[in-house]
A and B are shown apart, each in its own frame.
Chain A
Amino acid sequence: MLMLAAIVVLHITTIILLLVAAIDNAWWVNDSVSADLWGKWEFTNNVWHYTNLKDYPEDYLQAVQATSVLACVFTILALFVFVAQLFTLPKGMRFTFTGILQIIACLCIMTGASIYTAKLHVNESSGGYGHCYILAWISFVLTFILALTYFILRKKKE
């Protein structure tokens, strides 16, 4: 019972972290710029302006956008499937479908974060990665752990 609650809590935490990573604007942070996957905030003339991302390699940026959205979708689906499988799975079986969805989510966020690291902001000297970028990698680790858990876990045989 405790383990079940722990897994569900961990899964929900992962969902929240992934959503924050995808939505909040801090993938790349500078003194005057705060950029994420969708746009960037620039601080000019003492005012923050929201502008689009110029000078980004468009196709790589869109790939990162797609994979981060897909990671969120798959991990939310995995939660619902896990709850469904809790009731419908025969005893002694493993939660494979949930595990598969979760590993796909893990692959998606890994692909997205890797592309972001490798192809964007390669030549910029000032600034660093913001908290959303870090959260993306943390959620990669968490989704991986969760996927392994679902592949190993068996439903209790009464």
Chain B
Amino acid sequence: MLTFLALTSVALLGIVPEQSQAIVIYTGWERHALVGSDIRLSCSFFSWRWTSEDVTFSWTYRPDGSRDAISIFHYTGGAAYLDNKGPFRDRLEFVGNPGRRDGSILLKSLELSDNGTFTCDAKNPPDIVGRPSSVRLLVFEKVPIQAGVITGAIIGVVLGLLVLIVVIYYLMRFLVARRVFSLSVSKHGKKKKEGSQQRQGPVPPADPSKIKV
């Protein structure tokens, strides 16, 4: 699992040894979802000990604005217990793999009242000291469109025009300067025009600021 790889890499970076007996739990920070869709809330942990058979995962839910949290999921002794009385009855599914330290749950058919904070607490006996981690769920009716097609088009076209105008302006100045320079060369010597151009070699570009445009 990707989460397990992430965990190992974080461990290699050096989780502070003085926490060697503490368990570290990882969930997301915030999740966004549409009304009616399903969302997977992931939870995994890092522990210096091997994954024990008595590993437990529990999820609690605290609605936005409420002070109480209710328990909605518990995995212990190899069996998962889902909410069958609360707001998530028949809408919860366990999709994690405790053997791989994954305690993720799947919430189906999200409603606007599901906005809130989900807290995952994992224990890996004898490693039980740790802080539960929380993920905030935000449910939208429609994913807030930050900017639409028209917005992007207007911005792109205007900025593109600006760049184009600046490039054309400097190009015109450069070309006019060159034309003035090559005209003065041809006035001095038509016969040796090619020769003089070759002798001059790399023509130094005329200084635009000195030329009246």
> Which residues 140-185 of B sit at the A interface, judged by CB distance below 8 A?
140-155, 158-159
Most chain A CB within 10 A, of B115, B140, B143, B154, is at B154
A59 CA to B140 CA in the complex, in Å? Answer: 21
Cβ contact within 8 Å between B115 and A49: yes
Interface size on A, residues (CB 8 A): 22
Cβ contact within 8 Å between B151 and A65: yes
Query: Is there a chain A Cβ closer than 8 Å to B65's Cβ?
Result: yes
Query: Is there a chain B Cβ closer than 8 Å to A90's Cβ?
Result: yes
A70 surroundings in chain B (CB, below 8 A): 154-155, 158-159
A49 surroundings in chain B (CB, below 8 A): 112, 115
Residue of B nearest to A73 (CB): B159
Tell me the minimal C-beta distance from B63 to chain A in angstroms. 9
Query: Is there a chain A Cβ closer than 8 Å to B138's Cβ?
Result: yes
Cβ contact within 8 Å between B151 and A47: no
A38 surroundings in chain B (CB, below 8 A): 144, 146-147
> Which residues 53-90 of A sit at the B interface, judged by CB distance below 8 A?
53-54, 58-59, 62-63, 65-67, 69-70, 73, 90
B144 surroundings in chain A (CB, below 8 A): 38-39, 50-53
Tell me the minimal C-beta distance from B166 to chain A in angstroms. 9
Residue of B nearest to A77 (CB): B162
A70 CA to B154 CA in the complex, in Å? Answer: 9
Whether A90 touches B115, Cβ cut-off 8 Å, given contacts A52-B144, A62-B147, A65-B151, is no
Tell me the minimal C-beta distance from A76 to chain B in angstroms. 12
Tell me the minimal C-beta distance from A133 to chain B in angstroms. 18
Cβ contact within 8 Å between B155 and A69: yes
Tell me the minimal C-beta distance from B189 to chain A in angstroms. 33
A53 CA to B151 CA in the complex, in Å? Answer: 15
Cβ contact within 8 Å between B143 and A47: no
List residues of chain B with CB under 8 Å of any chain A CB. Answer: 64-65, 112, 115, 138, 140-155, 158-159, 209
